[in-house]
Structure 1
Amino acid sequence: MNLSRPRSNRVIAGVCSAVANRFGWNPTTVRVLTVLSCLLPGPQFVIYIVLWVLIPSE
């Protein structure tokens, strides 16, 4: 499976949907884990923006 941001099932940029599709996970689970990780200190927002730029759209 390719890593690409789907045109449908996007909430913000489709990064969580792309990661979920790539690994066969539920997109809602990836979104919840992403939001929970943002509560911890670290560069989560920067990583999300970098993935938004690097992962091609379908």
Structure 2
Amino acid sequence: MSRIFDHMRGHVYPRSRIAGSSESLHASNVILGMLSVMLAVLAVAHAITLASTAF
């Protein structure tokens, strides 16, 4: 899936493409990872809230 993000990033930020550094960690991957973790935490918190009000 990272290859898809690299391809999209190449169209959005064409100057950031550096030859030979396709394996390096990009800031957009870090941001997407943090957003996915935050979304997962919110989903768990929402599930706990729903479970506590159901009983």
Which of the two has greater helix per residue? Answer: 2
TM-score, length-scaled by structure 1: 0.28
Structure of greater relative contact order (alpha carbons < 8 Å, 6+ residues apart):
1
* TM score, norm. by length of structure 2: 0.29
